[in-house]
Amino acid sequence: MGVEYVSRVPRPPLDGLIDDLYYLGGAPPYARLMLPPMPAALLIVNLGAPFRIRAGTEIETAEYADGCVVTMPTRGLEFGYPLWTRSVGVHVKPWGLAPFLPMPATELCDRPVTLEQVWGRPAIAELQDRPATAPTVFAINPAGPIDWGELASGAGYFDQAHFSHDLRAFTGLTPTRYVEVRRRFLREHPGHVLDGWPLPAD
């Protein structure tokens, strides 16, 4: 199994602060990735096994379970990925994170920190729970009838075909197959809280 990478440019006004949002999931083709210095910020919400980062001249790597934030690195960062990874990230324009930080953005330059260190544990728990509870395409109720056209429109798509295309690109499943997998999962795991997706196809 390979790695899946899906990137989207946000709508205005966020496009003035953010270059793109992305989803990364699967088995990376590399164990380590060197991120060069760049005039931008990076925010990663980790949804899988912890990854490790070695910043600048540090000898040891540090583990990041919930994700990380770093602003405008002037030195390279080394990312160490687990055998299987899953995360949602944001490539932010220079100083684009400043309005969302409780401290000056300059304090995070060349200093990766966990999300909990920036916003606290309650905020991070809420952020990680949103994909399972948000009233959008993430909250499809497989037990009832689904109006795919209405769902696509509510998610901001021009038509159902584009929604279906992106759902397949993100999950590897057609809308019909996605619902079948969800229904089977609920039958086999009654009462389970679905806190992660895409769900396995088999």
Using one digit for the tens of pLDDT, what is the confidence trace for 130-175? Answer: 554 544 464 566 777 888 888 777 666 667 887 787 777 656 778 8
Q: Give the span between the Cα atoms of 93 and 32, in whole angstroms.
A: 24
What is the structure's pLDDT at 52?
Answer: 93
Q: Give the span between the Cα atoms of 55 and 112, in whole angstroms.
A: 7
Same domain assignment for residues 86 and 43: yes
Number of H helices and number of E strands within the chain? 5, 9
Q: In this predicted model, which residue has the larger pLDDT, 166 or 97?
A: 97
Q: What is the mean pLDDT of the chain?
A: 79
Same domain assignment for residues 120 and 154: no
Same domain assignment for residues 96 and 37: yes
Same domain assignment for residues 103 and 144: no
Provide the b/e sequence for 99-133 (b: ≥16 CB within 10 Å).
eebeeebeebebebbbbbbbbeeeebeeebeebee
Q: Is the pLDDT confidence value at 70 over 50?
A: yes
| Average pLDDT value for residue range 167-190 | 74
Query: Of 107, 130, 153, which residue constitutes the final position of a domain?
Result: 130
Same domain assignment for residues 126 and 138: no
What is the structure's pLDDT at 90?
Answer: 92
**pLDDT (tens digit per residue) in 55-69:** 877 778 899 999 999
Q: Is the pLDDT confidence value at 194 over 60?
A: no
The CATH number assigned to the domain holding 88 equals: 2.60.120.10
Query: Of 114, 130, 146, which residue constitutes the final position of a domain?
Result: 130
Q: Is the pLDDT confidence value at 129 over 50?
A: yes
> Phi and psi (nearest 5°) for 186?
-65, -35
How many distinct structural domains can be found in the chain?
Answer: 2
In a domain, residue 200? The reply is no
- Residue 139's domain comprises 134-188
Query: Of 97, 130, 163, which residue constitutes the final position of a domain?
Result: 130
90 within 8 A of 82, measured Cβ to Cβ: no
Same domain assignment for residues 57 and 104: yes
Long-range contact pairs involving 124-132 (C-beta distance under 8 Å, separation at least 24): 124/66, 124/67, 127/45, 128/45, 128/47, 128/66, 128/195, 129/195, 131/47, 131/195, 131/196, 131/197, 132/193, 132/194, 132/195, 132/196
Same domain assignment for residues 184 and 88: no
| Average pLDDT value for residue range 174-190 | 76
pLDDT above 90 coverage of the chain, percent: 15
Same domain assignment for residues 60 and 120: yes
In a domain, residue 193? The reply is no
In a domain, residue 119? The reply is yes
